[in-house]
Chain A
């Protein structure tokens, strides 16, 4: 399945060309090498999973993509262009949105305001126009509100739109965080353990949302997840990391039968 040619998945979805290409990424913290010379690509329209045992460097990888960490070595290519070292907010403007492993919502704001904040990269009115409000600022607010309401409908959180986020239970917070990322209409959506700490029903809901997002909006998704059942069902291709190295890359079936991956997860007998 390598090579840049577009292909069609088993369930009939069109996977396009390379959207993001990580080439030889190496990331060090002092003497510790968190990521060692890893290359992989993310194709347009696919669901790409990054898996691996704890401490494998998966979250560090997402942080490199979203601009929190700057790799010492390697290149990040996005939409056919080499990306210069960027701050996270500049990465957001490229159309890359993400959610966090530990929920990172704005607790003091309502659900609606949180999701509206996700539209920030699309809002252009200046300080003066906003101070006057009537006219351009209000029109922009309403236009963006409509898009936000679509996301709210999509994720079925209409009932809580005016609730302060601090009062919501965990599962809903995760959903609001996904809503905030979706509101940005990202080209690439990064999900850092979207199902951590959820019960079975919540996981099923979340899986359905992820598939729907990918299906209806055609959003490319890269996700980190520990639940192997979920990963194998959802993703088109999987990258496996262990101790900062890439030990496997391919379809779920290929990865499942990869001896190195099995060793990393189950351990190797030493005799």
Chain B
């Protein structure tokens, strides 16, 4: 009964185009923010942070990034893993070269470097579309991983070929390195996710977002009303890569701490993030969150059910998980190509009229 537009009159265009047009949604949004910032940090333990919350936050940033490129601008990319690696290695090089500068600045700069690399690899998108572009970005994925393996300057000539995050502090609290408290890991990721999501929302609702969507829906018509396809596609690649670079930097520095590029940022990562936005919903920010939550939670949930409750062997559950994820992706592509976000939208439409649908 709370979920109503009735009586909530919009008197300005600002109010009419706000993110959450229904009052109940606005309250829920602030409630989620308050809980995430003021409640969860006090209760988070190492297991929750490592298994669920931190990967969810980081993958949500990556999913937002890929969703801008694929969901909003319609350019399919399989290079997410490679771009995350760029963010991670940029962050590592910055951390080790300028140890006195704040890690926050390093992470943002890593995003900026990734944006430049992403825009460069986005150049082929001006000539090729669809599957062919996917293959071109796949080349970026393999090339970047190969480069970070091959050129030892990127991992500071370490014998193992790994990169390790040195300990860094924000306001006197360790956020990277072995002595990081779980809540500190959680908080830095949460802050970055919140800011990234706000930026993504602002960009997608304005002129740039509309020109991306115009390119996605019909590029000829977009051009005729004044969208410069070069600019629109390259900004999509750059902004998308900026977010993906930040997520890669956080994934390396805050979450894993030590990274071997082929293992952490291989082609599986590209597919994982792509599955997130497909299952979550292309062209929807909520979908990025939903997809990331779904694919982070699913393995944990399956493990809890299979190993802890039913007592099945771990390897069986691990294999079952692959089968179930695959089946779910097929299910979603057939039943609801617009993903969880669309289910959510339908539920909200029903809820608006509930309990008197006529």
A106 touches B214 (CB 8 A): yes
**Least CB separation from A103: chain B residue:** B221
- CB of A198 within 8 Å of the partner chain: no
Instruction: Give the residues in chain B near A104, CB-CB below 8 Å.
Output: 218, 220-221, 224
Instruction: Give the residues in chain B near A180, CB-CB below 8 Å.
Output: 225
B202 touches A125 (CB 8 A): no
A98 touches B211 (CB 8 A): no
Instruction: Give the residues in chain A near B221, CB-CB below 8 Å.
Output: 100, 104-106
Instruction: Give the residues in chain B near A66, CB-CB below 8 Å.
Output: 224
Q: Measured between alpha carbons, how far is A137 from B204 in the docked complex, in Å?
A: 12
Q: Is the interface of A mostly helix, strand, loop or mixed?
A: helix
- CB of A113 within 8 Å of the partner chain: yes
A108/B213 contact (C-beta < 8 A), A141-B17, A146-B13 known: yes
**Least CB separation from B235: chain A residue:** A127
B17 touches A108 (CB 8 A): no
**B-side interface residues, number (CB < 8 Å):** 31
Instruction: Give the residues in chain A near B283, CB-CB below 8 Å.
Output: 108
B202 touches A105 (CB 8 A): no
Q: Measured between alpha carbons, how far is A130 from B348 in the docked complex, in Å?
A: 28
- CB of A195 within 8 Å of the partner chain: no
A193 to chain B, nearest CB (A): 15
- CB of A89 within 8 Å of the partner chain: yes
**A-side interface residues, number (CB < 8 Å):** 41
- CB of B228 within 8 Å of the partner chain: yes
B229 to chain A, nearest CB (A): 7
Q: Measured between alpha carbons, how far is A222 from B181 in the docked complex, in Å?
A: 69
- CB of A28 within 8 Å of the partner chain: no
Instruction: Give the residues in chain B near A191, CB-CB below 8 Å.
Output: none
Instruction: Give the residues in chain B near A181, CB-CB below 8 Å.
Output: 225
Q: Which of the 9-residue segments A48-56, A115-123, A230-238 touches chain B?
A: A115-123
**Least CB separation from B206: chain A residue:** A130
A109 touches B213 (CB 8 A): yes
A130 touches B207 (CB 8 A): yes
A123 touches B214 (CB 8 A): no
Instruction: Give the residues in chain B near A138, CB-CB below 8 Å.
Output: 14
- CB of B227 within 8 Å of the partner chain: yes
Candidate in A89, A104, A127 with the most chain B CB atoms within 10 angstroms? A89
Q: Is the interface of B mostly helix, strand, loop or mixed?
A: helix
Interface string of B53-74 (1 = CB under 8 A from A): 0000000000000000000000
Instruction: Give the residues in chain A near B224, CB-CB below 8 Å.
Output: 66, 68, 88-89, 91-92, 97-98, 100, 104
Instruction: Give the residues in chain B near A133, CB-CB below 8 Å.
Output: 202, 205-206
Among residues 259 to 304 in chain B, which have CB atoms less than 8 Å away from a CB atom of chain A?
Answer: 283
Instruction: Give the residues in chain B near A145, CB-CB below 8 Å.
Output: 13, 17
A120 touches B203 (CB 8 A): no
B110 to chain A, nearest CB (A): 18
- CB of A178 within 8 Å of the partner chain: no
- CB of B217 within 8 Å of the partner chain: yes
Instruction: Give the residues in chain A near B220, CB-CB below 8 Å.
Output: 68, 88, 104
A120 touches B218 (CB 8 A): no
Instruction: Give the residues in chain B near A98, CB-CB below 8 Å.
Output: 224
B225 touches A184 (CB 8 A): yes
**Least CB separation from B231: chain A residue:** A89
B13 touches A120 (CB 8 A): no
Residues in chain B within 8 A of chain A (CB atoms): 12-14, 17, 199, 202-203, 205-208, 210-211, 213-214, 216-218, 220-229, 235, 239, 283
Q: Can you list 15 A-B contacts with CB-CB less than 8 angstroms, sorted by A residue number?
A: A89-B226, A89-B228, A91-B224, A92-B224, A97-B224, A104-B220, A105-B217, A106-B214, A108-B213, A109-B214, A116-B210, A120-B226, A127-B203, A130-B206, A131-B199
Interchain residue pairs A-B with the least CB separation, the first 7: A92-B226, A104-B221, A106-B217, A133-B202, A121-B226, A88-B223, A145-B13
